[in-house]
């Protein structure tokens, strides 16, 4: 790693940890004294902290915002805390209240930013992420891949780089126990009829580590050896096992940023044709 970049990234991460954790104390103190802040403002404050860290590590052709996803099938997502989109190909669509709406063709990542979570709260947030991730649908006759012109087929069930990278960042997960938690997460996804394709890519808890995936298969290409950590829930119809890694706060955050960067380096970018939406 370049020494300058390493130093700057470490500074960003150190400041991120301080700001993210101290924001709770700041919010609680101000709320007790003058009620200057409410939950929405607290959430926006933390979203901005995460947004700044993410923008430091992703290519400048991608931008971040808060908003809703839409597709040409007249579906709309619930509000996403963070939307990462292809700035060069995303039209500016907003209503009179300045709410942003992003055609799914231009969306490459979505994130949820939370505080201290119970298992139930975490599972609810993951199901919300998954349902928003499902919104990425492109009509077969309107597929135009910007960065890979020969790729005329959009199929997120087969090609993981046709999906949206989804992540969740929180301060802590109450009574964290990985063996118990992975079963809870599996149950929530299954009872809500969430396909494996649309599960989260990575969960970062500052206090508890990273929840990601592990390749338990031996018959995948050599580039994906057995026991390799994966930032995808599924590749080539192989559903990977849940995995917990805790290498310290800085390394855990780098895992999130690296996973996102690797995905963006390979993601298929699509152009949202206006006539598909009219």
Q: What is the distance, to the nearest Å, from the Cα of residue 44 to the centroid of all Cα atoms in its chain?
A: 17
Per the CB < 8 A criterion, the answer to whether 76 and 139 are in contact is no
Residues 6 or more apart whose CB falls under 8 angstroms from that of 19 comprise 49
Under the phi-then-psi rule, with left for phi > 0, alpha for psi from -120 to 50, and beta for the rest, what region is 193? left
Per-residue pLDDT tens listing for the chain (278 residues): 688 988 999 999 999 999 898 876 666 655 555 555 555 676 788 889 999 999 999 999 999 999 999 999 999 999 999 999 999 988 889 998 889 999 999 999 999 999 899 999 999 999 999 999 999 999 887 888 887 766 568 888 888 999 999 999 999 999 999 999 999 999 999 999 999 999 999 999 999 999 999 999 999 888 899 999 999 999 988 999 999 999 999 999 999 999 999 999 999 999 998 888 88
Do 54 and 63 meet the contact criterion of CB atoms below 8 Å apart?
Answer: no
- Transcribe 213-266 into DSSP letters: EE---SSS-TTS-TT-EESSSEETTEEPEEEEE-S-HHHHHHHHHHHHHHHHHH
Residue showing tokens 């709260």: 121
**SS3 (DSSP) at 270:** strand
């Amino acid at each position: 790693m370049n020494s300058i970049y390493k130093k700057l990234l470490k500074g960003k991460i150190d400041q991120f940890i301080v700001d993210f954790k101290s924001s709770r104390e700041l919010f609680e103190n101000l709320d007790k004294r003058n009620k200057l802040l409410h939950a929405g403002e607290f959430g926006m404050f933390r979203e901005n902290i995460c947004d700044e860290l993410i923008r430091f590590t992703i290519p400048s052709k991608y931008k971040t915002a808060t908003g809703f996803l839409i597709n040409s099938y007249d579906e709309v997502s619930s509000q996403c805390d963070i939307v990462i989109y292809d700035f060069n190909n995303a039209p500016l669509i907003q209503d009179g209240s300045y709410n942003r709406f992003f055609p799914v063709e231009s969306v490459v990542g979505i994130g949820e930013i939370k505080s201290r979570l119970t298992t139930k709260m975490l599972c609810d947030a993951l199901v919300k992420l998954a349902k928003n991730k499902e919104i990425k649908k492109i009509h077969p006759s309107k597929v135009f891949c910007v960065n890979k012109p020969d790729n005329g087929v959009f199929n997120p069930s087969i090609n993981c780089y046709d999906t949206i990278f989804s992540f969740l960042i929180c301060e802590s997960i109450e009574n964290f126990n990985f063996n118990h938690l992975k079963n809870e997460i599996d149950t929530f996804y299954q009872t809500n009829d969430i396909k494996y394709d649309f599960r989260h890519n990575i969960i970062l808890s500052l206090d508890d580590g990273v929840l990601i995936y592990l390749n338990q298969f031996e018959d995948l290409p050599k580039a994906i050896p057995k026991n390799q950590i994966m930032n995808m829930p599924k590749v080539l119809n192989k559903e990977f096992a849940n995995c917990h890694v805790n290498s310290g706060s800085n390394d855990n955050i780098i895992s999130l940023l690296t996973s996102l960067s690797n995905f963006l380096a390979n993601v298929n970018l699509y152009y949202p044709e206006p006539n598909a939406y009219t």
